[in-house]
C-alpha cells in the first residue's frame, strides 16, 4: 500500500491562524491568579465550605440541645410554641431544661428539669457584694427535680386558690405578697389538683437551678436577665419578659424574692452536709433567694442569701415530684383496704 503523504499547509492558512490567535480577546486568554485558582479548585472549595458549615451547624445544634439525648428528643417531638422542647408524658427528665406542662383549671404552668449534679455553692472571696456567710463549698444533689420556670403568677395563684382571675394586665405579674405559710398552702392545694407533691425548693436546689451550670454571680448580663432597683422603676414586671438561663428558667434574679424550704442560719454553710443539704433542723426564720425589684445588684446574685427577718412577704416557685401512676394506685389500694384487728 502506498503511504499517504502528509498534507501540506498552505501559507495562506498558516497566516490566517496566526492572525486569529493575535486577535483573540482578553477573555479567551489563559486565566491567572484568582481566576486560575477558581477554575482549578472552585468546585472543591465550595464543597469544603459546605462541609465546614454543616459541621459547625451540627456542633451548634448539639450544644443547643445539651446532649445527644436532647437531639434525639428534638427529632421526635419538634419545637414547641416557645421555641424549645415540649414534653407531654415523662416521669423524670432526660436532659437539662426539658419542658413539662401541667394544666390547672385552664391555666398552663411550665416546669423545667434540673438534672442531678455537683456544683460549688456560695461565692468566692473576690466576688463583688459577697458576705462572709456565703462560704464556698461543694454540694452534691443526688436527684434531679422539676421546678417552675417562672415565679408563681397571679393567674396561676387564682386558678389554684379558686379566686377571681386578675385582669389581662396583671395576670402575668408574680404573686409577690405571700407569707411563707400562704405559699405552703398553695403547694398543698396544687398537689391535690394535679396529683403531684409540690413543695418549696431547698436553698441548694434553688441556687443550683439559678446557676444552670455557671459559676458566675449572674446567669447572664443582669440588665438582660433580671429586674432590680436599677431598671425596674420600683415596680413588679410580668414574668418571662427578660432572658432566661441555660435551663430556660426566668426571673431568677430580681422581680420577686423567692421563698425556700430551709430554715435560715447565718453560719450553716460551715458545717453543711455535702450531699443533699436541706438546711438546719429548726429555726426562727426562713430563707429567701434571688433579690427583688427593689434590691440592688449585690442582693440579686446567685449566692446572695436573705431571711424572713428582713422580708416578710415574697413570691416563690415550687418544685414538684412526679410519682409514677403505678405507685399512686398502690398507695390508694393500701389506704382503701380496712385494717383488721385481732
Dist CA 44 CA 57 (whole Å): 20
71-80 pLDDT, tens digit each: 665 565 454 3
Of 153, 172, 313, 290, the C-alpha closest to 228 is: 290
The length of the chain, given as a count of residues: 342
97-129 pLDDT, tens digit each: 989 888 888 899 999 999 999 999 999 999 999
| Pairing assessment for the beta strands 253-254 and 226-227 based on DSSP bridges | parallel
Residue 66: pLDDT over 80: no
What average pLDDT does the segment 135-156 reach?
A: 94
**pLDDT confidence of residue 88:** 36
Of 211, 219, 198, 145, the C-alpha closest to 316 is: 198
The residues spanned by each domain of the chain are: 95-325
Q: Does domain 95-325 have CATH number 3.90.1580.10?
A: yes
Asked whether 148 and 100 are in contact (CB, 8 A), the reply is no
Residue 235: pLDDT over 90: yes
Indicate the pLDDT class of residue 230, thresholds 50, 70 and 90.
Answer: very high
pTM confidence score = 0.70
Bridge partners (DSSP) listed for residue 253: 226
Question: C-alpha grid cell for residue 315?
Answer: 413570691
**pLDDT confidence of residue 85:** 39
Query: What DSSP character marks residue 212?
Result: T
Residue 35: pLDDT over 60: yes
What average pLDDT does the segment 26-53 reach?
A: 68
Q: What are phi and psi of 81, to 5 degrees?
A: -70, -15
Question: C-alpha grid cell for residue 207?
Answer: 441556687
Q: Look at 283 and 77; give whichever has higher pLDDT.
A: 283
Of 268, 271, 313, 269, the C-alpha closest to 288 is: 313
Amino acid at each position: 500500500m502506498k503511504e499517504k503523504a502528509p498534507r501540506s499547509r498552505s501559507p495562506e492558512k498558516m497566516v490566517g491562524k496566526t492572525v486569529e490567535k493575535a486577535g483573540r480577546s482578553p477573555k479567551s486568554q489563559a486565566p491567572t491568579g484568582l481566576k486560575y485558582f477558581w477554575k482549578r479548585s472552585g468546585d472543591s472549595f465550595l464543597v469544603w465550605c459546605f462541609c465546614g458549615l454543616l459541621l459547625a451547624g451540627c456542633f451548634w445544634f448539639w450544644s443547643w440541645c445539651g446532649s445527644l439525648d436532647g437531639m434525639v428528643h428534638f427529632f421526635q417531638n419538634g419545637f414547641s410554641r416557645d421555641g424549645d422542647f415540649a414534653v407531654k408524658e415523662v416521669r423524670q427528665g432526660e436532659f437539662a431544661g426539658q419542658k413539662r406542662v401541667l394544666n390547672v383549671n385552664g391555666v398552663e404552668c411550665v416546669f423545667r428539669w434540673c438534672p442531678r449534679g455537683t456544683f460549688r455553692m456560695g461565692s468566692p472571696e473576690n466576688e463583688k457584694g459577697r458576705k462572709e456567710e456565703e462560704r464556698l463549698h461543694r454540694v452534691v444533689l443526688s436527684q434531679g427535680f422539676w421546678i417552675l420556670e417562672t415565679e408563681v403568677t397571679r393567674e396561676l395563684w387564682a386558678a389554684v386558690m379558686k379566686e377571681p382571675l386578675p385582669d389581662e394586665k396583671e395576670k402575668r405579674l408574680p404573686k409577690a405578697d405571700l407569707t411563707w405559710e400562704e405559699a405552703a398552702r398553695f403547694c398543698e392545694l396544687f398537689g391535690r389538683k394535679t396529683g403531684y407533691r409540690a413543695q418549696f425548693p431547698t436553698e441548694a436546689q434553688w441556687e443550683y437551678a439559678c446557676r444552670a451550670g455557671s459559676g458566675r454571680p449572674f446567669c447572664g448580663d443582669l440588665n438582660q436577665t433580671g429586674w432590680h432597683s436599677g431598671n425596674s422603676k420600683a415596680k413588679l414586671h410580668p414574668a418571662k419578659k427578660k432572658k432566661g438561663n441555660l435551663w430556660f428558667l426566668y426571673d431568677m434574679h430580681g422581680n420577686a424574692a423567692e421563698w425556700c424550704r430551709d430554715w435560715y442560719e447565718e453560719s450553716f454553710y460551715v458545717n453543711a452536709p455535702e450531699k443533699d443539704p436541706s438546711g438546719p433542723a429548726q429555726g426562727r426564720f426562713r430563707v429567701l433567694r434571688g433579690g427583688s425589684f427593689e434590691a440592688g445588684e449585690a442582693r440579686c446574685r446567685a449566692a446572695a442569701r436573705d431571711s424572713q427577718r428582713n422580708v416578710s412577704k415574697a413570691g416563690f416557685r415550687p418544685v414538684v415530684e412526679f410519682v409514677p401512676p403505678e405507685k399512686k394506685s398502690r398507695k390508694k389500694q393500701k389506704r382503701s383496704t380496712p385494717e383488721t384487728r385481732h
